[in-house]
Amino acid sequence: MATEDLMRKALEALGEVDGPMSIEVIHRLVDVGDVEESMSIAEVSDLLDVSAHTLRYYEKIGLVAVDRDSSGYRVYGPESIRRLVFLTRMRISGMAIRDLQHYVELVDAGEGTVPERLDMLLEHRDTVRRQIKELTLSLAATEYKIATYGGRTGEHDTQPSVTGSSPRGVS
């Protein structure tokens, strides 16, 4: 499942939530419980609701290490599955793949990188907050424009002319 599909699923799960959301929404969206057994790529794909292609891509770019069975098939152990849960949640949050790659490199480098990882997450949080403010402003501007049309936005509705009807030249 692409990031857009994950986001659509997350938004559908939220419904019409006004106000702050609980982290429980994210946990419910990507909750694998206590996985203790290894799983195939198809099982992990179903579990996380991501495509097998996405899982292979994450492996290819070094985000997750995957063992192979005696026949050469991918086998995802509990540690790999936990990492994939983390990656899925961070992709839902909008974190870029290159940032995830750097973050995973830091995790793999050990506990000494915790301060840098925290800095990355704080910066990502600030970016998300800025995007929320930008989208809030965009929504306000759009709602204002809809109100100027009297709530009519269909093609056949009578709308002000684009030129000449506004002191600023835009309707």
pLDDT tens digits along 83-119: 998 998 899 889 999 999 999 999 999 999 999 999 9
Helices and strands per DSSP (H, E), number in the chain: 7, 2
Cβ 82 vs Cβ 48: under 8 Å: no
Residue 5: pLDDT over 70:
no
Q: Which SS3 state, helix, strand or coil, does residue 74 take?
A: strand
Whole-number pLDDT of residue 163: 47
CB 88 within 8 A of CB 30: yes
The radius of gyration of the chain from alpha carbons, rounded to an integer in Å, stands at 22
Structure tokens at 108: 């793999």
Q: What pLDDT, in 10s, does the model give residues 108-153?
A: 999 999 999 999 999 999 999 999 999 999 999 999 999 998 876 5
Beta bridge partners of 76: 39
